[in-house]
Amino acid sequence: MASQLEPGRTLLSSGVTRIRIPITDGSEPETSGYLLRHANDSVTIVDPGESSSLARGAVDCALTSAGSPAVASIFVTHAHRDHAAGAPALARRYDVPVIIHPAESAEIKASRDDSWRMQRSRKLREWGVPTDQAKAMLGSPHLLPDWQDVKLLFVTDGEFLPFSNERFQVVGVPGHTAGSLALLAAADSLLLSGDHLLAHRHVGVGIGADFGIDPLGDQLASLERLRNIGPAMIAPGHGRPFIEVEERIAVERAHLLRRLAEVRSSLDHAPTISLWHRAATLSWRRPWIELDSRHRRVALTQLAHFVSHLDHVRE
């Protein structure tokens, strides 16, 4: 059972502590990072959050409250800014590696040059977005800090987390991003899921510079794999830890399949219209006309992945 420590920290199991890390862009209140205590009393910091002073303060406070242990490494479940932007500064401060899936290095590279802008602009044209709308949708990148002198230690599915004496095993959960990772503490039946599965909302698929060939197919396969693993508790990258694991997997899977059926029906009835016009005919959390430019761009990206999945399964 989880037990509450001082504000901002929750002990989930022996040596696993949740850190509530503020997000300053208003997208949502916080992310969930974690401290993993190893047998030698060093710690790995999981998902240290954004690079703001508030996020750094939350991590520093957690380390102080834990007795200022030596930091062995930083583990990043995926390279989105709200989870990973704080990692380079911590890696430099403690002279430790950042552990990450190799596919996430594309996100790091794209955030430091103009490739994100060129890729996004090309996609908007392909999707038939009007020029005036495309300009607004192009937006600004969520830049990650400079990772140039940071040591990256790449891990993939099935490996054990370095420094953990084989307590935590890396589980590949591609879908949200191509290189999304989770950590399984089998002895505690606890899984740190990153953004693969949350308690309070659905998760987008294929978000980032490298989204793989079929991110929707990847997400569905990762959900099935998680169901087979069957952890008793999930500690996600946003929101509270939860034990309703089977229920959340079923809800997430049903949501994706309902959306897939809606997209398939749209393609059957109007196979030649652009993605832009197709999006306006589908259901969203709010009416299409009410979505701002950023949310329309996200919606179009998701729709493109669903269409791509249908093309992929027909091959």
pLDDT above 70 coverage of the chain, percent: 91
How confident is the model at residue 140, as a pLDDT?
A: 60
User: What would the DSSP string read from start to end of 177-224?
Assistant: STT-EEEEEGGGTEEEEETSS-SSS---SS-SS---S-HHHHHHHHHH
Two tokens, residue 140:
């600004």
Average pLDDT (149-171) is 93
Residues 238-256, mean pLDDT to the nearest whole number: 96
User: How is 145-172 classified by DSSP, letter by letter?
Assistant: PP-TTPPEEE--TTPBPTTSTT-EEEEE
Query: What is the model's pLDDT at position 210?
Result: 62
Across 65-86, average pLDDT? 95
User: What pLDDT, on a 0 to 100 scale, did the predictor assign at position 143?
Assistant: 59
Residue 114 has pLDDT above 80, yes or no: no
Share of the chain above pLDDT 90, in %: 73
State the DSSP code for 97: P
The predicted structure's pLDDT at residue 203: 92
CA distance 74 to 305: 31
CA separation for the pair 204, 302 (Å, rounded): 7
| DSSP class per residue in 18-75 | EEEEE-SSSSSSEEEEEEEE-TTS-EEEE----SSHHHHHHHHHHHHHTT-PPEEEEE
Q: How far, in Å, CA of 39 to CA of 15, rounded?
A: 9
pLDDT beyond 80 at 261: yes
- Of the candidates 133, 44, 128, 138, the one whose C-alpha atom is nearest the C-alpha of residue 94 is 44
CA angle centred on 173, ends 167 and 174, rounded to 5°: 145
Contact 85, 145 (CB under 8 A): yes
Tokens describing residue 62 = 């957690």
Would you state the pLDDT for residue 105?
84
68: pLDDT strictly greater than 70: yes
The confidence score (pLDDT) of residue 213 equals 84
pLDDT for 155 equals: 97
- pLDDT, tens digit, 9 for 90 and up, residues 281-310: 999 989 999 999 989 998 999 999 999 999
Least confident among 62-76, 92-106, 108-122, 148-162: 108-122
Q: Phi/psi of residue 68, each to 5°?
A: 50, 55
